[in-house]
Amino acid sequence: MSRALVYAAAGVVLSLGEPIGLLFVREIYGAPPIPTELLLERVTYIYISVTSAILLGALGYLIGRQADRLEALAETDALTGLANRRALRRRLTDDLHRARRYGSPVSLLVVDVDGLKRINDERGHAAGDRVIRRVADAITATLREADLGARWGGDEFAVLMPDTPGEAARHSAERLALHLRWRRGGDAEPVSVSIGIATFDPAQGMRVDAEELAHLADEAMYSAKRAGRDRIHAA
């Protein structure tokens, strides 16, 4: 549930304090007992309760919506619009806990753009940024609904795939690489990627945390680069 709705509900609950406080203050200063006061001034107290609930609920909603926006900005990569490393680590930890509980596999792809330094040196950083955005667009275009694409940092990306065994993750990696190859042509910079795959499968008795799974996928990616780039290797 978003913070906007939670804060709005909290505002409505807090608004009850205004009529309740008024009742006690009036009783202290000699007003009739609370039941009698409510009966005699019921319209006034209904009005106070409703207006307070509307005002504090609306204020809570606005504050919560702003908090949601700030959280989204804190977990989004500015250049690509993908999740950033912080968001991916949090989601990976959650998915691994869920995988252990339900016995489902989780796969992680680490995607490295081949030759980005050369592109930056020869064509400038604007050209390098275009390449990064193209890879991000390709990741977004090939994601399943449950997957999370993220910019891992620099020229590296990651794709988190819950409920996905290793073979299915390889098919997704091949689809991503093919999508980038298909988009080559014209004056666009040629793009290839090296992809490493690591899969956590509780059925195999594996015991890894988020850091270890990311390290395995990263090592598989470097293995793909050492083998000649534009390849897919699994840990």
In the chain, domain spans: 3-74, 85-234
Catalytic residue among 112, 114, 155, 218: 155
At position 201, the amino acid (one-letter code) is D
CA distance 197 to 195: 7
At the top level of CATH, which class does the domain 85-234 belong to? alpha beta
Residue 155 annotated as catalytic? yes
CA distance 161 to 158: 10
- The whole-number pLDDT of residue 68 equals 66
pLDDT mean by block of 10 residues, the chain; 235 residues: 77 76 70 68 77 83 76 80 92 94 94 89 86 92 93 93 95 92 62 94 84 95 94 94
Rounded to two decimals, the pTM is 0.72
- The whole-number pLDDT of residue 117 equals 85
- The whole-number pLDDT of residue 140 equals 94
- The whole-number pLDDT of residue 90 equals 93
Q: What angle do CA 173, 147, 103 make, to 5 degrees?
A: 95
The SS3 assignment for 78 reads coil
Q: In the 3-class helix/strand/coil scheme, how is 108-176 assigned residue by residue?
A: EEEEEECCHHHHHHHHCHHHHHHHHHHHHHHHHHHCCCCCEEEEEECCEEEEEEECCCHHHHHHHHHHH
